[in-house]
Structure formats: C-alpha cells, structure tokens
Amino acid sequence: MFSLRNNFYSITNESLYRHYSTSVNRGNFYGVDYRSSVTFILNAESPVSSKNFKTIGYEGSSGWQLSTLVSDGTGDGLSPASGQWITTNDESALVLSLLDGEYVFNPVGGAPVVRANYQATLGTTEPPLPRYYAGFNRKENRYVANLVNNSNASTGEILFGSEISGVKGFYVTGTLVTDLVTNLGGEKQLFSVMSDYVMNNGY
C-alpha cells in the first residue's frame, strides 16, 4: 500500500488498485462488487417492556431492503418435539426495496407483474398502470413497510408466523442491505431507521 499525489493505492495479485475511485461502482473492492449493509438495534423508550414492533421505516435513498429483523431471545423452553432446551426468537419476513417490490396488475387477465417482468409481459419498462408495492413504499419522504412475522411456533402459541403482524420482543436487531436492482454501484444513503410499536399487555 502506498500513496502518490493525494491518491491511495494498493497492490494485490500483481494488480494495482486506486482506492476511493469514482470511476468504479461503490462497494467494489479489488474487482468484486459487494453489497453494503447496516446492522441496527431498535429499543425505543422502554427497554424493560415487551413490545410488538409493527412497522419498519428508514430515511435515506431508495435501494435498501430489510434482510433480517430478529427479537431478543425468549429464554429457555423445552421443545415438545425434540425434548431439548431451546431459546426462540420472533423474526420478520424479508422486506423488499421499493423497486424490487414494485408490481402492477396486467390488464389482460389481472395477474400481478413484477418490475423485472414489465418488458417481457407488457412490452415496456414503464407501463402506464398504477404501481403497488410488496416491500418498502415511499411515504412523506420516508420508506416504510409493515412487518410480517416469519417465526416458528413457540410453546403455547396458537397464532404465529404470517398469521400475525409485527415482531414481539423487548428489542429487535435488524440488517438493511443494498438491493440488486436500484442504481447498481451508485450511492445509497441511510440516515435513520425507525419502527412503530405498541406495548404488550402484562409485561
């Protein structure tokens, strides 16, 4: 590694690389494109109270998807199936980015068509049809989405997984990752992450 005329360089595998170059994709390191990710913890106001985190939102650029959102562990419980002591967590289903989750309804037959199939199905990349979103949606300069539960049943639970909305826990840990469709290699900003939640009764 060395610097020359205010540029930082490194050599690997007999190739010379200039760091912080604007002529290659962001997240490109030594010729390989990587997705950026940010891990965060949401534990607003009352860390000793159990909550139901209902939504996820962020301020920043389009092009982020929620890859994971997991609650704190519930503590050890005996699994009826295996007889083993296990700790369970609540978790959310994947939340697609704005463009990755965008779809329209085909005027012929009414079937949903995702953005990736607009050209093949409708003959244009920008059909003059109302847009719907299965992931993040833009509202008041924020990207927001409902959280759909993706958890397995815990002992004693009657409703679980996609039958309920939100993620239960004292806190949640999540990861936002850049998608593979929005301005590939371009800048993606992230300023803040937020969630709407309600307190659970009895905790």
pLDDT band at residue 21 using 50, 70 and 90 as cut-offs: confident
Q: Which helix (H) or strand (E) holds 119?
A: helix 118-122
Statement to judge: residues 52 and 84 lie in one domain = yes
Instruction: Look at the chain and report how many structural domains it folds into.
Output: 3
Statement to judge: residues 85 and 58 lie in one domain = yes
Statement to judge: residues 7 and 84 lie in one domain = no
Statement to judge: residues 80 and 108 lie in one domain = no
pLDDT at 126: 94
Statement to judge: residues 164 and 85 lie in one domain = yes
Statement to judge: residues 146 and 46 lie in one domain = yes
Statement to judge: residues 118 and 202 lie in one domain = no
Statement to judge: residues 22 and 52 lie in one domain = no
* pLDDT tens, residue by residue, 86-144: 777 889 999 999 999 999 999 999 999 999 999 999 999 999 999 999 999 999 889 99
Statement to judge: residues 83 and 110 lie in one domain = no
Parent domain of 188: 35-100+135-203
What single-letter amino acid sits at 64?
A: W
Q: Is 25 exposed, middle or buried (0-12, 13-18, 19+ CB in 10 A)?
A: middle
Cα–Cα dist 102/12, whole Å: 41
Task: Give this prediction's pTM.
Answer: 0.81
* pLDDT tens, residue by residue, 48-59: 888 889 999 999
* pLDDT tens, residue by residue, 168-185: 889 999 999 999 899 888
Contacts of 185 (CB under 8 A, 6+ apart): 24, 25, 26, 27, 28, 33
Statement to judge: residues 203 and 109 lie in one domain = no
Statement to judge: residues 144 and 72 lie in one domain = yes
The residue out of 80, 110, 133 marking a domain boundary is 133
- Report how many helices (DSSP H) and strands (DSSP E) the chain contains, helices first: 1, 20
The residue out of 88, 111, 133 marking a domain boundary is 133
